[in-house]
Each structure stands twice: as C-alpha cells, then as structure tokens.
Amino acid sequence: MSEEKQFLTDQLEWVMKQDDIYGQIEQKLHEMKAIAEYCAVPEVSDLERQELQLEIGKLKEEIFALEQELGTFHH
C-alpha cells in the first residue's frame, strides 16, 4: 500500500472512530433530555426525581469519559 493511501486509510479510520464517539455522546444527551422532560411532570415523586437525577449524573460521567476518548485519538 502506498504511503499516501495508508495515510488516507488512517485518516478515515480516525474520523470513523470520532464519529462513533460523537454518536454515543448524542444518544446520551437525548437520554438526559428525556429524563429532564419526565422530571418536569408534576406527578413525579421526589424520590423518583432524585433517582433520575442520579441517572443524569451517571450519563454526565459517561459523556465526560467519551469526551476524554476524543482527546486520545491522534491523526
């Protein structure tokens, strides 16, 4: 494989990995939005709201870890 073709192949792989991570982040943000919208419903109990806040915190941590992964890719 020529050097240029290898470079382009590596670049494509790098972009695909980043795209996958951004997709995972987007999915988690949608989950957080759905939880937040559900928490706004007056019928949600305080206990359930607290549990959902913990879930949002977990999703935030997962997003942070994914963002860290974005910084580990070198092109």
Residue 74 has pLDDT above 60, yes or no: no
Q: pLDDT category, 35, cuts 50, 70, 90? A: very high
In DSSP notation, 7-64 reads: HHHHHHHHHHHHHHHHHHHHHHHHHHHHHHHHHTSTTS-HHHHHHHHHHHHHHHHHHH
Residue 56 has pLDDT above 90, yes or no: yes
Q: What is the pLDDT of residue 75?
A: 47
Residue 54 has pLDDT above 60, yes or no: yes
Contact 75, 14 (CB under 8 A): yes
Task: Tokens for 49, please give them.
Answer: 């709201």
User: In percent, how much of the chain has pLDDT > 70?
Assistant: 95
pTM: 0.84
In 3D space, the residue among 18, 19, 22, 40 whose CA is nearest the CA of residue 30 turns out to be: 22
